Structure 1
């Protein structure tokens, strides 16, 4: 994984108001690559919980952006109920949204692609997002790129992002830091 002492890892600087974005953690893990993903999710779950707790305690918006798995007639409570009844509810329950969390449905990899997220962030005056969730080399990477091109500051909570392939995840973290100026921070050090 990307070294803690690499440039861009946790650089402090003036940041606009922030939000924690929890990406695709409401998951039933009933997809072809679930066997690759589940072990990594188990490993990062405590750090995701730490990031969510820190954001909530700090009064920072927590926004869940999640695939709807083709359930276009459902809302987030139905999606949550479905995954909590699945075989991997133990990976969802500790990081489930609370009543104050905001929720945005996405259909593709990026949290911004044809979603109202950009509008929501602007309405809330948020110019910095911290990303946690899954998967580092897919949805996290594409979302960080889309945030970057929208001039939104990005932090990736590097110990709170799950992956399918460790080598690709490491390369994705490096790309986000080097090419997009993303900060890489641990959940315990997360600051908004």
Structure 2
């Protein structure tokens, strides 16, 4: 039997084909099992099936000249994940764990944004809301391609990283995130970013509902909300939606992986 010579699709969800034959068995991934400590259990997980989602670490939410700061929010807590992410992300990339940047990045015409969502972010209709220019620099709030929607300068994005624009608090709503993860065979998701009780939690919950294994990276996540919101987030992740760990525990786990 002639062996197909061309691959169609993204590994591991790829076929090998030629003009008469298609191999739809899909090549298996080589497992990279590691042991990870969490707040509730010790996990055995496979790095070959793992990805990290970094959510909303962008200027509008984290920078003192961004939108949240403009409307009076102290964004200092939102900057806390930067340092641990600077350490963790390169190590994950070294283990071929994909880094996803999941950011608000609206269409310029806001045609997919409903009135109730606009109201949440501009309840009087007279403030600076989605798509409006920031008075300080003219950047349009949470618009794809604008400074406002860009990842903060302190976090390096590399060409192999994957970027997904989102239009709601959940990164899975009306986006290709689920399709990309399934094509890549990634079923265990690490969650980082801001705000823990809002966009991070909404994305994590939707991931749980879709059947992904979810792990919140505590020190790589933060919120500008009151402390009780943070505590409720940690409680609910542990209780209902997955596991909670931290970047040091993940770094310790990575040291077990082949190649260290």
TM range (shorter): 0.7 to 0.9
Find 2:43's aligned residue among 12, 30, 34.
12
TM-score w.r.t. the length of structure 2 is: 0.61
* Structure 2: runs of 5+ lacking an equivalent: 1-36, 111-139, 255-260
Which is bigger in relative contact order (C-alpha 8 A, separation at least 6)?
Answer: 1
The correspondence of residues 46-85 of structure 1 with structure 2, limited to 5 A, is 46-69=83-106, 71=108, 78-79=145-146, 82-83=147-148
Residues 1-192 of structure 1: pairs in structure 2 closer than 5 A: 6-8=39-41, 11-15=42-46, 17-29=49-61, 30-32=66-68, 35-36=72-73, 38-69=75-106, 71=108, 78-79=145-146, 82-83=147-148, 92-164=152-224, 165-180=226-241, 182-190=242-250, 191=253
Describe the SS at the equivalent of 2:60.
coil
Instruction: Tell me the matched-pair count.
Output: 178
Q: Structure 1, unaligned stretches of length 5 or more?
A: none
Q: Secondary structure at the match of 1:100?
A: coil
Report the Cα distance in structure 2 between the residues aligned to 1:28 and 1:157, rounded to whole angstroms. Answer: 22
**How far is the alpha carbon of 1:23 from its aligned partner?**
0.4
Moved more, 102-111 or 27-36: 27-36
Structure with more of its chain in helix, by fraction: 1
Per-residue deviation at 1:139?
Answer: 0.7
Is this contact kept in 2: 1:37–1:162, CA < 8 A? no
Question: What is the CA-CA distance between 1:47 and the residue it aligns to?
Answer: 1.4
Structure ID, larger Rg = 2
